[in-house]
Structure 1
Amino acid sequence: MKQIRVLIAEDEKEIRNLLKKYIERELYMVDVARDGEEALSLFEKNTYNLIILDLMMPKIDGIEVCRKLREKTNVPILMITAKDHEADKIVGLSIGADDYITKPFSVNEVVARTKALMRRFLILGSDNGLQEKTLLKFKGLSIDMKKYIVYIADEEISLTAKELELLKFMASNPEQVFTKSQLFRNVWGNSYLEDDNTVMVHIRKLRKKIEVDPSNPLFIQTVWGIGYKFVGEKDES
């Protein structure tokens, strides 16, 4: 069975070692980096299923590391920040982070979020090891859960893990209207504090990637005063 591998990039030694210890208890393989430069170096040498990334790190900060990673991979990224400001959270999500947690935090919560991200993108098969979810097809749009790619009119469009999960959830329930709170609970998890900005940032990013005209979306439509719905005709071919 293929083992899940996690990269932790955190400059504070005590936090880094504590996270490593707890995440290894889940039988995950864990590598650690003390700064952004080391994190990028390890990424080039290994394949990871999830990255835990501190926002404030020496040499190369977490924002720049996240940007560089998103140029090469769609692996889920959990960002850690000591700043409890809305702007920092939005910046992290805007550059490609899938989730964030603010210091001080419970180590058990970090582990829970790590497992939740894994659970949403990987199916643990008893015989075949890790198997990604399957293809979801609509007229003009296909969602490949294995490659983290969306096809729009035969053009490949790469999504982050959380963008893909949000799109997959909505596309699995076409024409159903969801409030921002419902989307947050279903995609980010019931245990998290609801955050409308998180949903809106990801909706905006998705529209820029999959819509011909993001200001007049065809697939992800706004239902004014309520929330959003996905509109698409399933392709059974």
Structure 2
Amino acid sequence: MTGARILVVDDEPDVRGLLREMLERAGMTVREAADGREALRVLFDARPECIVLDVTMPGLDGWATLERIRDMTDVPVLMLTARAGEMEKVRGLQAGADDYVTKPFGRQELLARIGALLRRASTTGRAAEAAPRETYEDALVRIDVANAEVRVLDQPVSLTPLEFRLLTAFVRHPDQVLSRDQLLELVWGDATGGVAGEQVKLYVGYLRRKLHAVLGDDDGPIETVRGFGYRWRPSAPDA
């Protein structure tokens, strides 16, 4: 477990502090998020090997956050809640959680469960799958996710962190129409909160201009589907 990256998601600062202290004493690296939307924003940068996720949070609760996480990664998730009922545990496991611990929890039990998830992920290969895809490539674009590098027609293109997250959201959903709300969730981690929907149109425009500066025409891979959203049309690599 030493060196493992853990993301702790809980709206109670005292609980996050307790978990951070416990996990760091066990040699793990901890990132925190105070709610589901922040967790989705942190997920891309932190690339955790395990997530400890509280169920009861304001706004985007643990169930909704788990659903969004499963759209993006297979990282092991341990649900943390004050509800001890059997149906709650069943719901968590059916929703894609890997384990379920109730508050108040024993420190040694929690560490043992996280350790078991990390070992299982390593054995089954999920540890490698937990991180977003390391590279993407088609005939026009190549993305090195780990190093945040983008090349268009083999020319480097400089993107802001937000533009980079937008591009990776598109390439992870090729040929799929993504609505404004879906992009707000995937890129900003906020479908219904304080981020204005106009930001999507604005940043899609920024991203298109940087791609087209190299492509030299209007036929870029980001297609507007009027009334619905945007779609990434990947180009097949040359044979």
TM-score by length of 1: 0.51
How big is the shift at 1:146? 5.2
How big is the shift at 1:3? 3.5
Distance 1:72 1:23 in 2: 25
The one-letter code of the counterpart of 1:68 is R
In the other structure, the counterpart of 1:205 is: none
1:184-199 alignment, distance < 5 Å = none
Unaligned 5+ runs, structure 1: 123-131, 135-143, 149-237
Distance 2:61 2:13 in 1: 16
Percent identical pairs in the alignment equals 40
> How many residue pairs were aligned?
129
Distance 1:146 1:60 in 2: 27
In the other structure, the counterpart of 1:90 is: 90
Rg larger in 1 or in 2? 2
Distance 1:133 1:114 in 2: 15
Contact 1:133 1:146 in 2 (8 A): no
In the other structure, the counterpart of 1:48 is: 48
Would you say 1:57 and 2:57 are equivalent positions?
yes
How big is the shift at 1:105? 1.1
Alignment CA distance shift 1:147-1:41 (3 Å): closer
Alignment CA distance shift 1:121-1:58 (3 Å): same
Alignment CA distance shift 1:110-1:3 (3 Å): same
In the other structure, the counterpart of 1:105 is: 105
In the other structure, the counterpart of 2:13 is: 13
The one-letter code of the counterpart of 1:11 is D
**Per the alignment, in what secondary structure is the counterpart of residue 74 of structure 1?**
coil
The one-letter code of the counterpart of 1:113 is R
RMSD: 2.1
Alignment CA distance shift 1:17-1:70 (3 Å): same
Contact 2:75 2:127 in 1 (8 A): no
Contact 2:118 2:127 in 1 (8 A): no
Contact 2:8 2:32 in 1 (8 A): yes
How big is the shift at 1:145? 8.2
How big is the shift at 1:147? 4.3
**Per the alignment, in what secondary structure is the counterpart of residue 39 of structure 2?**
helix
Contact 2:31 2:46 in 1 (8 A): no
1:207-222 alignment, distance < 5 Å = none
In the other structure, the counterpart of 1:115 is: 115
Alignment CA distance shift 1:89-1:24 (3 Å): same
In the other structure, the counterpart of 1:66 is: 66
In the other structure, the counterpart of 2:36 is: 36
In the other structure, the counterpart of 2:236 is: none
Distance 2:110 2:102 in 1: 10
How big is the shift at 1:6? 0.4
In the other structure, the counterpart of 1:23 is: 23
Distance 2:129 2:49 in 1: 13
TM-score by length of 2: 0.50
Comparing 107-116 and 68-77, the one that deviates more:
107-116
How big is the shift at 1:133? 5.2
Distance 1:116 1:80 in 2: 16
Distance 1:110 1:41 in 2: 25
How big is the shift at 1:10? 0.9
Distance 2:67 2:115 in 1: 23
